Amino acid sequence: MTPARLARHEATLAGLERKERLRTLVPRDGADFSSNDYLGFAGSTRLAMAVHSALQRGVPVGAGGSRLLRGNHPEHEALEAEAAAFLGAERVLYFGSGYGANVALFSTLPQRGDLIVHDALVHASAHEGIRASRAQAVPAAHNDVGAFEEAIVRWRSNGGTGGDPWIAVESVYSMDGDRAPLAELAALAERHDGFLVIDEAHATGVFGPSGRGLAADLDNRRNVVVLHTCGKALGVSGALLGTSTTLCDYLINRARGFIYSTAPSPLMAATVREALRMLVDEPKRRADFDVLRAFANTEIAEKLGVEGSGSQILPVIIGDNGRAVRIAARMRADGFDIRAIRPPTVPEGTARLRIAITLNVDMPTISRMFTRLAAIMAEEKP
């Protein structure tokens, strides 16, 4: 291949660099303020021992095929049964990633003639699935229940009488840290005979009874689809999609991402089982995390004058892409692993530092981090 064949790709990368949007891989280093390992499960001895135990009893690393071929391992089925009981779902399917699960559900469950109303800030994986769907899709203003309802009413009045509305939200938003009004949205879905899809990625493990998430109060509603990712507070990988048996069977038969993908590692399924048990057996982790999260929300308000989100995700809006990158780089140089988030991941003009609180740090470290961040932000003027 001649260098000219790569010219358009090089031009795109150069354009990203000019806009200060070029992404690069940065090694993990310093105090953890960027991971989603909220409860510190990822490096826990207990999960390491669970992996060792599973290998000792012969659980394979690889599945060897899709779930519909030879890849369906007893560990997958055991995890799905235990997760359904824990989460209060009629049935659960285990996917290899939250991204893949979102793409599968949105591209498969909503049908032609349906409407998907999604929060304007819903995750990129939901957008990807929605783009592949045959349903009509419209955004609604962030956390505005009235806007969701207006979109459904407008669709109905324009002839959308034969399909179903699907409401798509996150329970805790990954870049803003705020919560969706789930009770009001569930009532809206009931009122319009529709479905509610809730991505619990950043709530699983840290909110709700025993870490079951903010949708725990909506247990056993057949029109609710709940996605719990396993790569954040659970410290492992994959995703658990909980809903009615009918919708799970439909996904098994129609979701191309499920049918044509090699099944997730049985070894990882065994490890996720242990992570779910840890949520029940080790409540002190969640209690300690609640204290740490509250402390961080107080610190960001006192030292930066920024109102805390109330969750473990604390955005500091910088605005300018270059300034956000410079501040993050200086914080990493000082031993605090903080990353800059820029468009298109977040809206134009809202480049930010996404500060994540985990049990991998303590109160003194959080306090030092915010003190240093305040000083650097004062030096790196807009």
- The pLDDT of residue 219 is 64
- The pLDDT of residue 381 is 82
Q: In 91-232, which ranges are continuous DSSP H helix?
A: 98-108, 124-131, 145-157, 182-191
Assign 222 a pLDDT band (cuts: 50, 70, 90): confident
Q: Point out the catalytic residue in the list 232, 261, 265, 309.
A: 232
Report the C-alpha gap between 62 and 73 in whole angstroms.
10
Based on the residue annotation, tell me whether 192 is a catalytic residue of this protein. Answer: no
Based on the residue annotation, tell me whether 174 is a catalytic residue of this protein. Answer: yes
Q: Is the pLDDT of residue 27 over 70?
A: yes
Out of 158-162, 181-185, 304-308, 358-362, which region has the weakest mean confidence (pLDDT)? 158-162
CATH second-level architecture of 21-38+312-379? Answer: Alpha-Beta Complex (3.90)
Q: Quick one: tokens of 174?
A: 């990954």
Based on the residue annotation, tell me whether 170 is a catalytic residue of this protein. Answer: yes
Tell me whether the omega of the peptide bond preceding residue 315 falls within 30 degrees of 0, making it cis.
no
Q: Quick one: tokens of 376?
A: 């650097």
Assign 103 a pLDDT band (cuts: 50, 70, 90): very high
Q: Is the pLDDT of residue 40 over 80?
A: yes
Collapse the DSSP code of 118 into the 3-class scheme (helix H, G, I; strand E, B; otherwise coil) and give the result.
strand
Q: What is the mean pLDDT of residues 235-245?
A: 97
C-alpha closest to that of 359 among 240, 200, 262, 235: 235
Based on the residue annotation, tell me whether 199 is a catalytic residue of this protein. Answer: yes
Q: Is the pLDDT of residue 337 over 80?
A: yes
- The residue with greater pLDDT, 160 or 64, is 64
Based on the residue annotation, tell me whether 133 is a catalytic residue of this protein. Answer: no
Q: Point out the catalytic residue in the list 36, 143, 223, 309.
A: 36
Intrachain domains 21-38+312-379 and 46-280 with the same fold:
no
Q: Point out the catalytic residue in the list 118, 192, 202, 228.
A: 202
Based on the residue annotation, tell me whether 123 is a catalytic residue of this protein. Answer: yes
Residue pLDDT, tens place only, 200-210: 999 999 999 99
Assign a CATH topology to domain 46-280: Aspartate Aminotransferase; domain 2 (3.40.640)
Based on the residue annotation, tell me whether 202 is a catalytic residue of this protein. Answer: yes
- Asked if 355 and 315 count as a contact pair (C-beta separation under 8 A), the reply is yes
Residue pLDDT, tens place only, 142-163: 999 999 999 999 999 988 778 9
**Domain ranges (residues) in the chain:** 21-38+312-379, 46-280
Assign 66 a pLDDT band (cuts: 50, 70, 90): very high
